[in-house]
Structure 1
Amino acid sequence: MGNCIVCGTSTDGPICDTHQQDVVFDFRGDSPDQLTEDRFYRGVVDGYADFGVFIDLAPGVTGLLHRSKIDQRLESLDWDAGDTVYVQVTNVRDNGDIDLGWSIRQSDREFRGTLIEEPEGDRLAEEDDSDDSDDDDGTATVDDTAEAGSEPAEASDESSGEAASESAEPADSVSASEAGDGRSADGRGAVQVEADPQTTSEPVETDAEETDVEESEDLGYERTPVGDLRDQVGENVRLEGEVVSARQTSGPTVFELRDETGVVDCAAFVEAGVRAYPEIETGDIVRLDGEVRVRRDELQVETEALVALEDDEAATVEARMADALDEEAAPDAFEPLADDDPVAAVTAEIQEVATAIRRAVLESRPVVVRHAATTDGYVAGAAIERAVLPLVRDEHAGGDAEYHYFDRRPLEDGSYGMTDATKDTSRMLDNRERHDEKLPLFVFAAAGSTTDSLDGLELLDIYDAESVVVDGVATAERVAELASAVAAAPERTAGTLAANVAAAVNDDVRDDLRHLPAITYWEAPPAVYTDLAETAGLDETATTRLREAIALEAFYQSYEDKRELIIDLLFDQEVGLAEQVSEQFREKLDAELQTAEANIERREVDGTPVSVLDMDAYTHRYDFPPKALLLDTLGRRHHDETPVVVGFGKDELFVRATGEVDLEAVADDAAARAPTAGIAASGLRTGKLSFLSGRREAAVDAVLAATVARL
């Protein structure tokens, strides 16, 4: 039996079942059937094919990372043959073929440990031959610990070595340089010396607690802001700030420390795979002394002393960080993208949302954008992404920080129900427990503002997860109470408001956003935004093609957002891409419209003509266009003939009317007219009601009567 290197529980081998995916494995076998599915492995790029990348996991053991599993376009990968990469083995086929999955973690430091997998079993990387310790593959071996935060015993001229040697001077002990393999560190820069068991019965060790206090107070380093560390490489510094995260690698413990100027990784070594400074937790205000180094082109501080601050000292640091955060989070004087009265009326609200987003980035909290899976929603989400990602890159040194600190997740109906909220809550709590990650800021764009999102928003609120809302519909009173900031203008689309929020978050991307509002209007965009798009080089035809292309991709990406395709369409505007996708949009929509219009039933309800479509009978289920988009288009085409268009399926119904209709009031009225039909509003943003399939005819009649009564 052994102990898990992540959680310390007893297990067969160095890692427990729970934490298999928290570490990366170096495969030393010679056959695919020796691999373990779902584990992450270090591999080497062998070559490219049209359908993906071949990755060598060991000599003669090669897997395929299919292009569909890559979190970006294959052509945009900057991997070259021979590069070390990280992948997940998702399946080993009977014929020996290996299916690989994408890993957003592309360095050893992003995992919580490194292990060797051999046919005989798993073992620590530090148990490898000593001649492997010089491999520049990111594995922190015992001989590599000098670079990971603790100097070798013979390097007694360094600060930690000197402190340990001086504390071990009594005649009945040996010096650190003489200790050889018997030395170990306590995680604070002190050295504990074990005597030869043949010459003495008890080990002699330093007073680690006393050494810690003396080092943290007497090293005499000048306090240096994190933002100035680039000019201090090779020098000893003192940092004061908040521990953002603590992750255990197979070598050192890496603390991510934030002060009022930035964030930096600080490596502390006690013993390979053993947690240094276990008393230091995420959220602690600390003082850290160490040497600034550059490791794999990224700044890192090699920790020599680390203590948690309390009382007045902690309050001083917190106040300094809070003042700086308030000043930095508040956007500069904001000017809307265009001279537009509805947007100008909510300028203060736009700035509040922007401040919340900027603060989350500065506090190292992930930003999760939840947007409707529509053109309006995708444009809104992409606008905020365009503004936030550069700030994340500036704030965090890690090359993959943007995947840890920003995420964009579509919502099919634009409402935030318990299913989505439960997934988000489980994920954020798991990340907090396993990776010491802070709770995210949830940004709802073209989503989350209506009463059918309350259950989900209240679940987030129970766990104190902050949320903000950006929308083009009126925000429910309770939603406004739950959100820390709301920017809503019912006369404008969510994409219009989100583009303005993005400009307030990061003025450097203002020019990238000019064409976005015009894309989000299916009918007659306001002239100010048509003109603004033209200044970005997009005429009416170009914006129409983009609108259609985004609508098609929004449907096919409803359940899993691929960030790069939408960005290519909206910002890179690759030649022919929008035109090709929009052509598919028109072909599919026109074919569906032709069938639908041939089968629309004309009725009269209380003297008002209405149009009714049986969507189960006369549309293709599970194919484009979605029902809401089809009904939107039918409503626009037929509003001169009939003020009400209703499409119904097995147990759901969509309402489109020429005037403003309170869908909740319609649902209540219809429920009173057909009390056994189970009628209820289930999608306020999409105009959807649900009913019992066995009472379909009664439900449709009741909804038509209730809708006409409110015109």
Structure 2
Amino acid sequence: MTTSDDGPADGSDTPVVYDLDADCTLSDVSEENRYHAEVNGVVDYGVFVDISDSVSGLVHESNLSGKFDVGDELVVELVEIRENGDLSFDTADLDEYETVPVAHDYEVSDTGALAERVGESVHVEGEVVQIKQTGGPTIFHVSDETGVVPCAAFEEAGVRAHPDIDIGDLVHITGVVEEREESLQVEVNSLDRLEGDDAADVRQRLDEALEQRAEPHDVEPLVEWPALEQMFPDLREIAKQLRRTVLESRPIRVRHHADGDGMCASIPVELALRKFIEQTHQDPDAKRHLFKRLPSKAPFYEMEDVTRDLNFALEDQARHGQKLPLLLMLDNGSTAEDVPAYENLAHYDIPILVVDHHHPDPEAVEPYVDGHVNPYLYDEDYRITTGMMCVELARMIAPEITDDLRHVPAVAGISDRSKADAMTDYVDLAKSEGYEESFLNDVGEALDYEAFWLKYDAGRNLINDVLNVGCDDESRHRELVSFLADRAREDVDEQLDAAMPHVEHERLASEAHLYRVDVENHAYRFTYPPPGKTTGEIHDRKVEETGEPVITIGYGPDFAVLRSDGVRLDIPEMVSELNDEIVGGGVSGGGHLVVGSIKFVQGMREQVLDALVEKMADAELDEDLQSTTVGHESDD
């Protein structure tokens, strides 16, 4: 504002006194103009006055008539703006005057461009996506079209500033850009909630920009495979929802099966989302607060897992002012066994996305999930592993990580014993990156071995080194994998030396071989390999030994692990039938068509196993049908 005449715009002789909006800056004032002011300090040589939140100066005692206290209001005239920015005022005694309001004419700064404005006063408009109370200021995380920036407002130590502002409010902030621990932060001078048309305009602008920024990247598949490529539109939709979740500063919690394929699925997605968070959030702690990867021992979402997740989510909401998270299920989440956990989450605002390749129960699951990609939904099967799908998903989120991931689909397929024709192309792709097939097998063994010992720990840095994703030491990766794979094989050999003499054999009417072993009493407990892996290794050896259709059952007091080669089993269907037929059996479980695990009431074990064998004996032989995920589908 540059007006300096004493009269109003209509030409009358009534003096004008300007009333500045709180967010007005030095650019809005001019010498010789009069302003409404408030005393903010009294000293021996005069009084300091504010004419806006960021514009103040001194009225020297020589220009004062009377005594003033802090909070008193008066009219002042701006006498001088000095070179150093200090302002000198005089009092203006007026009997009559006209008050003219002055709005600050400002340019809204993009949060993504604040690095160029350090030390400057800026205006930011956006949505409050997190409010965190510290021992000092209140930190408001504000999201606009370009990113998210923390804004620090101070009332007094540990006291909530602007208590009327909530998450989801649209605000206008004036403040100074400062660097704090190698990140940017806005020191708030004023913070106001936007209302009415102003809020509607900002909301529309943010929504349009958010929709555009959430769009995933177009990527060419790593190998040509129509069976997988038909899933790309739905994988893109998952990628878009994940990118939008990051832009909205909603935390993402990944639950994945704790096996080789589950880690080949989750690690690339983790790398991609952390990259995207880093690109869009000024707060260096955002990656820690907005993303967490958590393994699940079972190939479904157990009540123990959901209880922990929900408890931590509610604590983070209360402690850190975060939104409730989005749950991303990888290599689990597609079956009826997941439904009780989903029903628990349904009481809260927690969206659920699923990428899985276990045989699904879509009618049971679909009411609870916001996105679901599974090869069975496209008339495909488990040979398309979750790791293969999630490498492409990760590239849609952050394509710059592609070079880190070219070997991962081959590891996922080998870990899950995929017999897909595309495995040849994936292995060749890995070879072009320096990975021989034998070493890919070692990586899969090492992942499985570490997953067992990590138990409920994600082991992010260790697993990254094993899989060589985000790893900065190639030699350490190879030495570590070789050591862990050798240890895994030694432990497997020791386990099978103990268990193999106790394997029982019979020939079914279909001419398939049936092998049974009590892994509770005839194998080492609480060590590697666990029952699922032990059963799978026995099965592999019997398939190689006979060259004929083989079924293997490893059982304990209340569980059985099932493997099949060359027999057309439908384990999910068999589990459903057993539950209906055996009253009081408590049969549950599932898996793929030819690999799975079941649970039952301990006292009904003999009835359940006998009925199971009868159903297996009736199954048709199919020498082209190969098992998958041998030794990796259950740690029960």
Using structure 1 for the length normalisation, give the TM-score. Answer: 0.69
1:665: Cα distance to partner? 2.6
CA offset at residue 558 of structure 1? 2.2
SS at match of 1:176: strand
> In the alignment, is residue 533 of structure 1 matched against residue 442 of structure 2?
no
The match for 1:619 among 523, 545, 556 is 523
- Bigger RCO (CA 8 Å, 6+ sep): 2
8 A contact 1:188–1:277 mirrored in 2: no
Distance in 1 separating the partners of 2:449 and 2:539: 19
Instruction: Say if 2:232 is the partner of 1:347.
Output: yes
1:595 alignment partner, SS class: helix
Contact conserved, 1:663 with 1:681, CA < 8 A, in 2? no
Q: Deviations over 1:520-563 (max 9, x none)?
A: 22335711100111122111111111111001001111211111
Superposition deviation, residue 671 in structure 1:
4.2
Alpha carbons 2:170, 2:193 under 8 Å: kept:
yes
Note closer, same or farther for the CA distance 1:611–1:279 as it changes in structure 2 (3 Å cut): same
> Which residue of 1 is the match for residue 401 of structure 2?
509
Identify if the C-alpha distance between structure 1 residues 331 and 288 changes in structure 2 by more than 3 Å, giving closer, same or farther: same
1:387 to partner: Cα distance: 1.1
| Aligned counterpart, 2:494 | 591
Query: Of 444, 447, 450, which residue of structure 2 is paired with 1:553?
Result: 450
Shift of 1:641: 4.5
Deviation string, structure 1 residues 256-299 (Cα, Å, up to 9, x no partner): 11101011111112222221111011111111112222233321
Match of 1:430 in 2: 315
In structure 2, distance between residues paired with 1:258 and 1:672:
53
2:145·2:206 contact (CA, 8 Å) conserved in 1?
A: yes
Q: Tell me how far apart the structure 2 counterparts of residues 157 and 365 of structure 1 sit (CA, whole Å).
A: 38
- Corresponding residue SS for 2:440: helix
- Closer/same/farther in 2, CA of residues 675 and 476 from structure 1, 3 Å limit: closer
| Closer, same or farther: CA 268–480 of 1 in aligned 2, 3 Å | same
Q: Which residue of 2 aligns with 1:578?
A: 481
**Counterpart in the other structure of 1:562:** 459
Q: For the structure 1 residues 559 and 442, does the alpha-carbon distance in structure 2 shift closer, same or farther, using more than 3 Å as the test?
A: same
> Is structure 2 residue 390 aligned with structure 1 residue 482?
no
Structure 1 residues 470, 352: CA separation in 2 closer, same or farther (over 3 Å shift)? same
Distance between the aligned counterparts of 1:394 and 1:179, measured in 2?
52
Query: Residues 167-206 of structure 1: matches in 2 within 5 Å?
Result: 169=38, 175-178=40-43, 204=71
Q: Which amino acid aligns with 1:661?
A: L
- DSSP-derived class of the 2:346 partner: helix
Aligned counterparts of 2:42 and 2:252: Cα–Cα separation in 1: 48
| Contact 1:188–1:270 (CA under 8 A) maintained in structure 2 | no
2:601 corresponds to 1:704? no
Return 514-523 or 407-416, whichever deviates more.
Answer: 514-523
Given the superposition, is the C-alpha separation of residues 472 and 394 from structure 1 closer, same or farther in structure 2, using an over 3 Å criterion? same
Distance 1:555 1:267 in 2: 44
TM superposition shift of 1:242? 0.5
Larger Rg, first or second structure (1 or 2): 2
- Equivalence for 2:603: 694
Look up the match of 1:42: none
Structure 1 residues 585-616: Cα deviation after superposition (integer angstroms, max 9, x where no partner) = 11011221232222110124445541111111
2:359–2:591 contact (8 Å) kept in structure 1: no
Query: How big is each residue's C-alpha offset from its partner over 1:305-333, in whole Å with a ceiling of 9 and x where there is no partner?
Result: 11111232222112111111111111122
User: What's 1:72 paired with?
Assistant: none
What are the superposed Cα offsets for residues 652-680 of structure 1, whole Å, 9 maximum, x if unpaired? 1112222453334322433455434x141
- Tell me what 1:465 maps to: 350
Return closer, same or farther for 1:660/1:407 CA change in 2, 3 Å cut-off. Answer: farther
Does the CA-based 8 Å contact 2:216-2:236 persist in structure 1? yes
Q: Distance in 2 between matches of 1:340 and 1:217?
A: 64
1:143-292 aligned within 5 A: 169=38, 175-178=40-43, 204=71, 218-292=103-177
C-alpha separation between the residues in 2 aligned to 1:167 and 1:595? 91
The verdict on how the C-alpha distance between 1:242 and 1:206 changes in structure 2, with shifts beyond 3 A counting, is: farther
What is the CA deviation profile of residues 672-706 of structure 1, one whole-angstrom value per residue up to 9, with x for unaligned ones? Answer: 55434x14123536722222222322222122112
Partner of 2:633: none
- Measure the CA separation in 2 of the matches of 1:307 and 1:621: 62
**Which residue identity does 2:448 align to in structure 1?**
A
Measure how far apart 1:405 and its partner are.
1.2
SS for the counterpart of 1:576 is helix
2:251 to 366, 381, 403: 366
**1:262, 1:395 within 8 Å by CA — same for their partners in 2?**
yes
The Cα offsets for residues 151-193 of structure 1, whole Å up to 9 and x where unpaired, read as xxxxx9999xxxxxx8665xxxx5425499xx9x9x97799xx
Ranges in structure 1 where 5+ consecutive residues have no aligned partner: 1-149, 151-155, 160-165, 192-199, 208-213
- Over 3 Å counting, the alpha-carbon distance change for 1:177 and 1:498 in structure 2 is farther
Residues 40 and 71 in structure 2, CA contact (< 8 A), matched pair in contact too: no
Distance (whole Å) between structure 2 residues aligned to residue 158 and residue 624 of structure 1: 71
The residue number in structure 2 matching 1:406 is 291
* SS of equivalent residue, structure 1 residue 521: helix
Distance 2:521 2:388 in 1: 37
Q: CA deviation at 1:494?
A: 0.7
CA distance in 2, matches of 1:320, 1:269: 29
Superposition RMSD on alpha carbons, in Å? 3.4
| C-alpha spacing 1:307/1:468, structure 2 compared with 1 (3 Å) | same
> Residues 304 and 220 (structure 1 numbering): CA distance in 2 closer, same or farther, change over 3 Å?
farther
Are positions 1:670 and 2:578 aligned together? yes
Q: Give the TM-score normalised by structure 2.
A: 0.77
Q: Match of 1:610? A: 514
| 1:415–1:683 Cα contact (<8 Å) kept | no
1:190–1:243 CA distance, 2 compared to 1 (3 A): farther
Report if aligned partners of 1:188, 1:306 keep a CA contact under 8 Å in 2.
Answer: no
- Seen in structure 2, the aligned counterparts of structure 1 residues 705 and 227 have a Cα distance that, compared at 3 Å, is same
Cα distance in 2, alignment partners of residues 553 and 679 from structure 1: 32
- Work out the CA distance in 2 between the residues paired with 1:446 and 1:352: 18
| Aligned length, in residue pairs | 534
Percent of residue pairs bearing the same amino acid type: 32
* Distance in 1 between residues matched to 2:580 and 2:227, nearest whole Å: 38
Aligned with residue 520 of structure 1, among 393, 406, 412: 412
The equivalent of 2:11 in structure 1 is none
- 2:190 maps to a residue whose letter is A
Alignment deviations for residues 429-455 of structure 1 (CA, whole Å, 9 cap, x no partner): 221222210122211111111111111
Does the residue aligned with 1:610 lie in a helix, a strand or coil? Answer: strand
User: Residues 75-114 of structure 1: matches in 2 within 5 Å?
Assistant: none
Distance between the aligned counterparts of 1:249 and 1:696, measured in 2?
Answer: 56
- For 2:579 and 2:168, the matched residues in 1 are separated by 51
Letter in 1 for 2:405: L
For 1:284 and 1:474, locate their aligned partners in 2 and report how far apart those are by CA, in whole Å.
43
Distance 1:423 1:189 in 2: 47
> Counterparts of 2:73 and 2:410 in 1: how far apart (Å)?
70
2:198 alignment partner in structure 1? 313
Q: CA deviation at 1:234?
A: 2.3
* 2:527 maps to 1:654: no
One-letter code aligned to 2:589: S
Deviation of the 1:566 alpha carbon: 0.4
